[in-house]
Structure 1
């Protein structure tokens, strides 16, 4: 399937998300009769089961455990609800929730958010988070390939329409390749894990779960975004419905404050072990999280930076330009409209953290030539 057919693949995924969207009904911020505050404020986030309960990814879990946001909203008579999104459907289900006004905020990836914004969903990015997440190219056990070029004509599992598709596409472009040069299998991560282990595919493009597959002996990682320009990484931020932000700026500010409180706590060296332990809940061993985080060009503090600095803004301009140039979206997203800087800036002032994080203006010079094999 060509890159220009990605929009069709995304619509198919949206259909899958629609099958689950009923779970969101009744949990959205329904306005009161007098047009005042909503009865419920709903935040969606990727989640997975852990010890019989749902554990949420990233800062969302910390916000739940801190309890501050729930308390602040309760003072205003607003209930806080979290909606767990399975990794198998991810962005498409969140986009469905935003489009149907059944969720108010979501912590999710740049690529599905750009697709939603291009399709007319009035999203606002209200709190950036860190310096991005790494993606990995892993080949099956026994395969001698050492680069993406060595995989030409072979079977690669790639879950289409997910945030890590962008670094994969950029890797192909950098090497003068295109999707048609490979046999692409559009399957979700759990299915691709099994396919790699059984030898049904020659390679898989994944997030940190590729490290676990390598540790289990199912394959060998031959490339990652650790060796590419930093803005090749996928990002996940806090997005909000634009109409909710316009109607309830005071509630939006509370949510922004909560996420930056969580980012500040997570960024402190003494809390590193607890953050890694939270990230390792479920089927992800601590060793996988530690290896994924092992990247000298990203400091621990910057891993949680909420700044709208040049680095972050340039990333979204790059994503908007790239998705439009490749025909992945029909309308180019106006990044200036997407990024709402007001709430993160005010949260930093509210929390006395104006000087805690420093802006990053340029990319790190430590990156190796894009497409080079991992050392």
Structure 2
């Protein structure tokens, strides 16, 4: 059995920051906000061959250099804050609350948790059409489905974006959390517990493919066998006070990320995209396997569109987090999604019809 200490781990994904430190001090003579000197963007990052490399579109944006160049013309520096995937949401929420960061790319759950806790942020664009989640069982366990795990132990990092996916899986099979011994563990701790036989299963993202390849367990289910709406979603978020004070700079950032999304979506760049994604220690062939879903073509996988499907997903997350007391206040989607910078970006880049809105959550 797991030691009791596992149960006392901090509910990291649901960390709520309520105290905001002052941001830039106003000009003492005019009272106007001080001019922006640096724009800081936070996102998941990895150490690769002694260097920090960033997740997805952010690394493309860095490599393209367009945003840094445009900001330099205005006397503004561009800074990136790398965040570990193990503590991504809480650390980003802290950064927003302290006004240490201006933008961040991260998931729906922690963003709504921050918003409910009084950190006023807005979701400006989608950063793709969703990430898959996987259910992995330990070696030697003769189970074929989630129903076979009833009464057994499962690790899941509570408050992280894939928790809603897990709940959907339970609901679809007439099950409840109380039907299992749930351990609140981050993915790394969960896999260690799985490999040592201390738990029966773990539910997480693409790291599951690595663990299966290592022989630590077997994947018995993934969202590839579920409606598209079950995938977790991420977006580009920004502090509302920054947006209001700096609409031109916000537009530059949004346009830069749309440019990066277009580059990722081009078939000619597929190999580079997969290689970049693999730097987080997931082999290229497993990244390709994770990305492979016949329902979502390569171009639309990187769609930045804030379509009805995306909005409905956020409504679903808002309802779930409030109903399960992960947040104190129910968040209306209109209070967190703000796509007014997306339309000009698409127009300026000639991409108004480039991506196709997602229309259904069917299998």
Question: When the two structures are superposed, what TM-score results if normalisation uses the length of structure 1?
Answer: 0.89
Say which is worse superposed, 44-53 or 307-316, in terms of deviation: 307-316
Aligned partners of 2:194 and 2:201 also within 8 Å: yes
Instruction: Measure the CA separation in 2 of the matches of 1:11 and 1:131.
Output: 22
For 1:57, which of 48, 55, 59 is the aligned residue? Answer: 55
Deviations 1:92-113 (A, max 9, x none): 1111111111110000000111
Q: Residue 116 of structure 1: SS of its match in structure 2?
A: helix
1:340 match: 338
Alignment equivalent of 1:257, drawn from 232, 252, 255: 255
Please give the alpha-carbon distance, in whole angstroms, between the structure 1 residues aligned to 2:16 and 2:158: 12
Match of 1:370 in 2: none
Contact 1:29 1:42 in 2 (8 A): no
The question of whether the paired residues in 2 share the 8 Å contact of 1:31 and 1:38 is answered with no
1:319 to 305, 317, 320: 317
Using the TM superposition, give the Cα deviation of residue 328 of structure 1 relative to its aligned residue in structure 2, in angstroms: 2.4
Distance in 2 of aligned mates of 1:272 and 1:31: 44
Aligned equivalent of 1:248: 246
Offset of residue 89 of structure 1: 0.8
Equivalent residue for 2:168, pick from 159, 167, 170: 170
Question: 1:58-137 maps to which residues of 2 (within 5 A)?
Answer: 58-137=56-135
Return the offset for 1:221: 0.6
1:197 to partner: Cα distance: 1.5
Cα distance in 2 for partners of 1:323, 1:36 equals 37
Instruction: Give the C-alpha shift of residue 236 in structure 1.
Output: 1.1
**Structure-2 residue corresponding to 1:361:** 359
Other structure's SS at 1:89 match: helix
Rounded to whole Å, the distance in 1 between the matches of 2:280 and 2:245 is 37
Whether the 8 Å contact between 1:138 and 1:221 is mirrored in structure 2 is yes
Please say if residues 43 and 105 of structure 1, whose CA atoms lie closer than 8 Å, have aligned partners that are also in contact. yes
Aligned to 2:277: 279
1:9 and 2:7 aligned? no
Contact between 2:156 and 2:186, CA under 8 Å: does it hold in 1? yes
Aligned 8 A contact 1:29 1:103 in 2 = no
Contact 1:30 1:40 in 2 (8 A): no
Measured in 1, the distance between the counterparts of 2:211 and 2:42 equals: 28
Matched, 1:45 2:47: no
- Superposed CA offset, 1:8-64 (max 9, x none): 82587569xx9xxxxxx9xx9746746343111100001110011111111111111
1:150 aligns with 2:148: yes
- How many residues are paired up? 349
Alignment of 1:176-325 (within 5 A): 176-325=174-323
Cα separation, 2, equivalents of 1:282 and 1:320: 30
CA contact (8 A) 2:318 2:331 kept: yes
Residues 95-132 of structure 1: per-residue CA shift (max 9 Å, x gap): 11111111100000001111111222111001112210
Q: Which residue of 1 aligns with 2:4?
A: none
Q: Contact (CA 8 Å) 1:29, 1:39: kept in 2 or not?
A: no
Whether contact under 8 Å (2:154, 2:201) holds in the other structure is yes
Kept in 2: contact 1:158–1:184 (CA 8 A): yes
1:253-301 Cα distance to aligned partner (Å, 9 max, x none): 0000110000000000000110000001131101110111111001111
Q: Distance in 2 between matches of 1:282 and 1:9?
A: 24
Q: TM-score, normalised by structure 2?
A: 0.91
List alignment gaps of at least 5 residues for structure 2. Answer: 1-9
- Shift in Å at residue 317 of structure 1? 1.4
Equivalent residues of 2:38, 2:78 under 8 A apart: yes
**Paired residues of 1:63 and 1:258 also in contact (CA < 8 A):** yes
Please give the per-residue CA displacement for 1:141-183, whole angstroms capped at 9, x wherever unaligned. Answer: 1111111111112111111221111111221222222222211
| Structure 1 alignment gaps of length 5 or more | 1-7, 19-24, 368-375
